[in-house]
Amino acid sequence: MADPMRIRANVDASGVTEVKVLMNHEMETGQRKDASGKTIPAWFIQNVTATHGGRTVLSAQWGPAVSKNPFLSFKFKGAQKGDKVQVTWVDNRGDKRTDEATIA
């Protein structure tokens, strides 16, 4: 399983929550070759979902063009300090990672 995501979530006075996520993933495109000349198989995050209180606040589909260890930032309304936000990714090999953070 991949290393944990680093997630920071802060709500401002107007009620907008900003979430910043650093995901640990190799994100191979399937176009590079190794030292022996063999193509390295594609391995990348395909789906990213973020939820707050059982409600999906972000749903994204990614492809091989996203960089290694991707960074994601997004905003949503309706959260309060102390609430939890949960981020999940699934890659093209079926690996899955879910982490959560408390909103400050």
List, for the chain, all residue ranges whose pLDDT scores fall below the cut of 70: 1
| The pLDDT of residue 1 | 58
Residue pLDDT, tens place only, 13-26: 999 999 999 999 99
| The pLDDT of residue 18 | 98
Domains and CATH numbers, the chain: 6-30+40-102 (2.60.40.10)
Indicate yes or no: pTM above 0.85.
yes
Residue 80 to residue 10: CA distance in whole angstroms: 9
| The pLDDT of residue 90 | 98
- Look at the block and give the residue holding tokens 């309304």: 77
| The pLDDT of residue 72 | 98
Tell me the HSE value of 36 on the side-chain side, using a 13 A CA sphere. 2
